[in-house]
Each structure stands twice: as structure tokens, then as C-alpha cells.
Amino acid sequence: MKCTFVDVAPESDFSVQNLPYGIYSTDTIPEPRVGVAIGSVVLDMHTLAVHGLFDDIEGLAAVQVFSQPQLNDFMSLGRPIWRQVRSVLQNFLCNDDNAVRKRVVEMNSVAVPLRDVHMHLPARIGDYTDFYASREHATNVGMMFRGKDNALMPNWTHLPVGYHGRASSVVVSGTSLYRPNGQRRPDPNKPPVFGPSMRLDYELEMAFFVGPGNALGTPLSLEQAEERIFGLVLLNDWSARDIQAWEYVPLGPFLGKSFGTTISPWVVTMDALEPFRVAQPMQDPTPLPYLSGSSSAAAALAGYDINLQVHIKPCDGEKFHLLTQSNLKHMYWSLRQQLVHHAVNGCNMRSGDLCGTGTISGPTKESFGSMLELSWSGQSEISLDESGGITRKFIEDNDVIRLTGYCQADGFRVGFGECTGQILPPKDLAL
């Protein structure tokens, strides 16, 4: 499959096999609207709908759906319609004889250069849940604080552990965040103190958006969950480790997390990721039936081979330095298991709900998905350059963190773009 509408470099994240969705605006048209990335341009889905490109798709009011400032309406329509839109778009981009393509005299009438767009949150996020689905990460953190023999809590291998995060502070890539203030207890023999977090960290995660929801009181099967996941984004769940360590017993993270979560703007659909499915790690013990299934469909490949990287640009530097190289295929609990467990008690999921995977760490040090792990809770310096002249234990003021991810095939790439954020100095609260 070759795109003939616009040139697409083999190393582009946005191949014709990808076609991720996002919400964008421009200086000339400031109203946010639905776009699809291809190569170095963004297709205006509303304009293509006005041209009649999607007229033959039953159940899709394309002009209305693609004029919305978020993807929720489109996400709610379900996988059969998502797939038809994908097929129609690919035909438009690859077939010179496409009827609508012939009517489009100039590419500029339906596409905008990526360099000219402003990206927005892709959805109206009603609820945000963060899981803890990487065994390597959970083991590392457990070893630091409880020792090797008690690294994993007794429930961890039986269910996808998660907590309810804060949707209002989910921001799009490129948004700067202030270093959070809060209570911390640096000396366990003294009372807590108030002030800026001194152990600010990134967490390399991915997250899925829910498509069609489920009614209150109605659980989902693994097969149903598979059809209800719209797509994935990169996610950096910034963590104030010292604030979190003092506050999290007994109810879990609160202010150590809720000050900000950054996601990439382009949502890569599950159909684009289909060729990159792999077996998830062996699960021992075998999960309960609602998480393991009994049919051949439930036993299908549930992992995804997605290369992930984290880079840091130090506050006084000009270049990015590699921190982490990991892969989503290491994740112990699959995406569909996370969604099934979330809904098994009858919790009603809604279109646009966001579910983070938790930190994605691999088996080697270079694949650790946080500075907490890389510095082993601040015990060692992380060298950012060969000379060892630039080091970190945790994020410093004005550092920039960049997450990237992609799937690689023969001759094309399915990528996610960037998930970038800068940490600004804390606000002086004069308290």
C-alpha cells in the first residue's frame, strides 16, 4: 500500500498504514476540529466529509461528527464504522482514480502542513484511571521499599491493580507544568514539612481511549473489551515521589500524581496496531476466568510490539539525552484485561475515558521506565553523557522530558509522535 496523495518518508511516524486521529486548529481557523495525520500533513476530516468522502458509510453523520472539537462522538460509534472510515481514507490516499480525490483540485484545500497546526486534547476525558500493569516496574519498586522477598503485594499477580486519577489535569503534549508543592517527610524521625517536591519523576506509560461504553451494572467480556478500545497514546504520568511516599497509605496516590499527566495528541487506532500484536508475558498463576477467558478468541495475541523511548533535555543543555528504551510487549496485564477488570463490578465506562497502563519497564536497566528505578530511589547518579559531566537523580527545574514510540515494519512505521513536557520552577505560595 503506497500513498500517492502526499509523499510519506519510510521513517515517518504517520504512514498510510497508521492514520492516527487528533484534534487540531490553525492560526487562520482557530476552531478545533478532527484531523488525521499522514506524512507531513493533517487531513481535515470535516472538509473531506463535506466533499462526500464518507457518504456511503451507514450510521456515520460525517459532516457533524468530524466538525466536533473532540473525538468522543466518533469514538462512540464502534469498530465497524472506525474500520470503514479507515478503509475509505486509505483508498482516497492511495487510489488516483478515487472519485472524491479527482474533485479535490489542490491538496491545500483538504490538508494542512503539520508544522502549521496547534494540537489539542483528542477527547473530552470524563474519567482517568491509571493501572500498575508492568511486573518489572512493580517488582523494582517493591524491592526498594519492601525487600526482594516481599516485592509484589499478594494481589498483584491476580488482578490489574489501578487507581482513579484526576482527569482535569490531563494535558496535551507541549504543556509546561509547575513543580508541585506538598507535604513530604524527608526525615522519618521528624514531622513532615511543606514545600516543593525534591524527587520529581517521569513515568513511561501508554494509555487507551474507550470507545463505546457499557451500561451501569453491565460487565464486559474480553471479546467485548477488544471491540471497545479505540486507540492508544503515549502518557507521562508525572510523579512527585516524596509527596506520594508520605501520602499514599492507606488510599493510594493523591497530590503526588494529580498535578499533571501529559499525553501525546495523536491517537493510533487498534486497527493500525493489529500487525504488531505479540504474545503477552506468561501469567502465573493463571488469572481467574473473567480475565483469562475460555475461547480461542480470548487466547489470541494480546500484547503489542511498540518501541518506547524517553529522552531528557537538561535545563542548561541544548540536546536531548536518552534515558529509557522499553517496549509495551513487556507489560504483564494486557489492555483488554485492564478494561475487563475495570468494568467487572458493573462500573460504566464512557466514550473518551482514558486508562493508563502504569510505568512500562523491561528486564534490563536501560528499559526501566522511571528515574526512581534508574537511580534506584536516588542512590546513584544517572549519567546523561559519555563524559559523565551531566547527571540526574530526578528531574530538575526547566528540564524537558520527551516520550516517543513506534512500531516498525518492512518499509513503514506506525508511530505516535511526541509526548513532551517541561517542568517549571514551583510557584512561591508565601505560606
Max CA-CA distance within the chain? 75
Q: What angle do CA 149, 152, 155 make, to 5 degrees?
A: 130
CA distances from 26 to 20, 29, 33, 421 (A): 18, 5, 10, 21
Given 46, 51, 118, 137, which residue is catalytic? 137
137 given a catalytic annotation: yes
**How many Å apart are CA 413 and CA 24, to the nearest integer?**
22
Among candidate residues 294, 282, 312, 335, the one with its CA nearest the CA of residue 393: 312
**How many Å apart are CA 333 and CA 133, to the nearest integer?**
5
> Which phi and psi angles does 261 have, rounded to 5°?
-135, 125
**How many Å apart are CA 231 and CA 211, to the nearest integer?**
8
C-alpha cell at 312: 531528557
Kindly tell me the burial class for residue 427, based on how many C-beta atoms sit within 10 Å of its own C-beta (0-12, 13-18, 19 or more). exposed
Question: Which residues participate in catalysis according to the annotation?
Answer: 137
